[in-house]
Amino acid sequence: MLKKYEVLQEIKSSKIVAVIRGRSAEEACEISRACIRGGIKAIEVTFTTPNSLRVLQKLSNEDVHALIGAGTVLDAETARLAIMNGAAFVVSPNFSKEICETCNLYSVPYLPGCFTITEMVSALRAGADVIKVFPGSVAGPDYIKSVKGPLPNINLMPTGGVGLDNVVRWLDEGSFAVGVGSVLTKAMNGEDYKVVEENARKFVEKVSVLSGSAV
């Protein structure tokens, strides 16, 4: 298992976390693999996916060269199960002190969903490493800069409302990384996962200019 700081550094370096919501475990695995083939290095398998633990196990045991994390984690028990089944990081739509304590116990990064400054400060005090700004579609890119004014040390990852047209702006405003979800599977017809791979590659190419790296 990668050390905590290595996981955080990988997320920061790759800039994109693919949020995977599959209609089945098999579909979630295929979408995840397509994202990885497209160059995305961090995959968040949500617990709204049927048999999500099996997806975590399968992807974590494959030589996929990507971080596999768990999303939509609502309680500490689920967080522990996710970690035991290979999750390299844990994401929630809300902040939970109990989940934070569990993740800290196992030295796994916790990314809780917060929207207000009060929620964010509570999460920071509990030891959260990165704050998921959710829903990002309501906040907008300007919100990142506004929050980092009084809280310059905070690491923010907007999720929701991130698209090809604004991903660079989200990052330019100071985001640690961005969460990208349904836009990756947009226009996917049946099992045409090539579309997912192409969408993923477009995002990777878009953000690569920020670090000057070649794809």
Q: Look at residue 211 in the predicted model and tell me its pLDDT.
A: 59
Beta bridge partners of 133: 114, 158
Q: Look at residue 128 in the predicted model and tell me its pLDDT.
A: 97
Q: What does the DSSP assignment read for 92-126?
A: -SS--HHHHHHHHHTT--EE-EE-SHHHHHHHHHH
User: Is 132 a catalytic site residue?
Assistant: yes
Comparing C-alpha atoms, which of 126, 130, 97, 142 is closest to residue 15?
A: 130
Measured CA to CA, the distance from residue 67 to residue 160 in angstroms comes to: 20
Q: pLDDT in tens for each of the 215 residues of the chain?
A: 679 999 999 999 999 999 999 999 999 999 999 999 999 999 999 999 999 999 999 999 997 789 999 999 999 999 999 999 999 999 999 999 999 999 999 999 999 999 999 999 999 999 999 999 999 999 999 999 999 999 999 999 999 999 999 999 999 999 999 999 999 998 787 778 999 999 999 999 999 987 544 33
- For residues 200 and 8, the answer to whether their CB atoms sit within 8 Å is no
Angle between the N-to-C axes of helices 76-84 and 97-105, in degrees from 0 to 180, rounded to the nearest 10: 30
CA dihedral 147, 150, 153, 157 (to 10 degrees): -10
Which residue in the list 58, 132, 173, 206 is annotated as catalytic? 132
Backbone angles phi, psi at 31, to 5 degrees: -65, -40
Measured CA to CA, the distance from residue 30 to residue 87 in angstroms comes to: 18
Which residue in the list 15, 27, 44, 197 is annotated as catalytic? 44
168 CB-side CA count, 13 A:
12
Answer yes or no: pTM beyond 0.85.
Answer: yes
Q: Look at residue 1 in the predicted model and tell me its pLDDT.
A: 62
Measured CA to CA, the distance from residue 206 to residue 81 in angstroms comes to: 35
